[in-house]
A and B are shown apart, each in its own frame.
Chain A
Amino acid sequence: KNQVEQSPQSLIILEGKNCTLQCNYTVSPFSNLRWYKQDTGRGPVSLTIMTFSENTKSNGRYTATLDADTKQSSLHITASQLSDSASYICVVSLVGGSQGNLIFGKGTKLSVKP
């Protein structure tokens, strides 16, 4: 069964600290993996997107890694800011398949405290 699991479910960190969010997937055949940031009450916004041949991709203080062999991805946030408080959703795209070819994780809710 194609699934995307994220951990932790929620995370609280202090402003200025780093954190890493995890995404494990059992999706095949894999096309690409993307991370979205969703502020409360808003639509998700794309942070990074990686194909199976890309191991890492950065977007400012956000760095995503992908290990297609172990089917794991991580999103590392450096020097967190209060505005990073949001849900972070991992989405895996598969070649063919159902659900419009996209499998969503449930997200990790990050709270950055001053």
Chain B
Amino acid sequence: DTGVSQDPRHKITKRGQNVTFRCDPISEHNRLYWYRQTLGQGPEFLTYFQNEAQLEKSRLLSDRFSAERPKGSFSTLEIQRTEQGDSAMYLCASSSSGGMYTGELFFGEGSRLTVL
């Protein structure tokens, strides 16, 4: 296992189109997180899963955003009717729960979205 992988790395789309990002976490990790990061800012929490259960969603996650982790392995983040303000880097991270270093995150390389 080489770490967290995200696909695609870059996506350019026109306003109003739908986009979907995929994240494959480290295989033994049961927690998976989605973050959004804009230029010059730290990552902003969007949502996280423990196994297949979506345990928390940020208020940043409008009804145009939906995330799934159907079998507790890979996850998808879909944005419907994209807006220019959705342009950002979407980061996925995974971690195991429990232990002294609970929640140590391993990030993917991110999916950069540009909405024209």
Contact = CB atoms under 8 A, between A and B. Distances in A.
Interface of A: 31-32, 34, 36, 41-46, 49, 51, 89, 91, 93, 98-102, 104-107, 109
A45 B42 contact: no
Nearest to B34: A100
B102 A31 contact: yes
Contacts of B100: 32, 51
Contacts of A89: 42-43
Nearest to A46: B104
A37 to B, nearest CB: 11
A36 B43 CA distance: 11
Nearest to B9: A41
Interface residues of B, number: 28
Interface string B44-81: 11001000000110100000000000000000000000
B45 A46 contact: no
B45 A44 contact: no
A43 B91 contact: yes
Contacts, number: 67
B110 A46 contact: no
Interface of B: 4, 31, 33, 40-45, 48, 55-56, 58, 89, 91, 93, 100-110, 112
B91 to A, nearest CB: 6
B40 A109 contact: yes
A104 B48 contact: no
Contact of B103 (A44, A45, A98, A102): A102
A46 B106 contact: yes
Contact of A98 (B33, B56, B101): B56
B101 A105 contact: no
A31 B109 contact: no
B105 to A, nearest CB: 7
A104 to B, nearest CB: 4
A49 B107 contact: no
A34 B112 CA distance: 25
Contacts of A45: 107
Nearest to B55: A100
Contact of A102 (B40, B91, B101, B105): B105
